[in-house]
Chain A
Amino acid sequence: MDGSDNSDNSERSDCSDCSDCSDCSGRGTAADLEAAIRRAAQENVESSTARLFLPLAAVERLCGEHCLSPADVETASLALGIAPERYLRNFETYTLAEQVRFLRAHVALVGLGGLGGYVLELLCRAGVGNIRGADGDEFAPSNLNRQLYGTLRSLGGFKAAAAAARVAQINPATEFMPVAAYLNGQEMEQFCAGAQVCVDALGGLRDRPALARAAAAADIPLVTAAVAGQGGYVATVLPGQASPADFFGTDPASLAAAAENTMGTPAPAVATAAAILSAEVLAIVCGRGPQLAGSMLLFDLGQMSFEKVRL
Chain B
Amino acid sequence: MSAVIHAARGGLGGRRLQAVIIGLVALAATAASTLALGMLVDSHSPFDHAFAAQHGAHVTAAVDTSVATSAQLAATTRLPGVTASAGPFATVSVTAKVSQPGIPGTRPYPLQIVGRPSAGGPVDQLTLDSGHWARGNGQIVLSRDVAGDLGSATITVGSQKLTVVGIANSVTNTAQAWVAPSEAALLGGSGRGQAQMLYRFANAGTSSAIAADIAAVRAALPHGALQDTASYLSVRQSEQSDIAPWVPFIIAFGVIALVISVFIVVNVVSGAVIAGTTRIGVLKSIGFTPAQVVASYVLLVAVPALVGCVAGAVCGNLLAIPLLKQNAQVYEVGVLGIPYWVDVAVPLAVLALTAAGAVPPALRAGRMSAVQAIATGRAPRPRHGYLAHRMLARLTSAPRAVTLGLAAPAARPARTLVTAAAIVFGAAAVTFGVGLAHSLDKAFAETSTASSLPVQVSAPPPAPPAGAPSSKGGGKVGPMGMTAAQQRTVISALAAQPGTRRYLPETDEDLSLPGLGDHVSVTAYGADPSWSGLALITGRWYSTSSNAPEVVVNTLFLTDTGTSVGSTYTVNSGGHRTTVRIVGEVFQPGNDVDIYMSPATLAAVDPGAGIQSYAVALQPGTNAQAYANALSAALGNSYSVETHSRGGTELVAVVTLIAMLTILIMIVAGLGVLNTVALQIRERAHDIGVFKAIGMTPRQTLTMIVCSVGLVGLVAGIVAVPAGVYLHHGVIPTMAHAANSGIPPSLLSVYTPWTIILLALSGLVIAVVGALGPAAWAARTRTAFALRAE
Q: Do A and B bind each other?
A: no
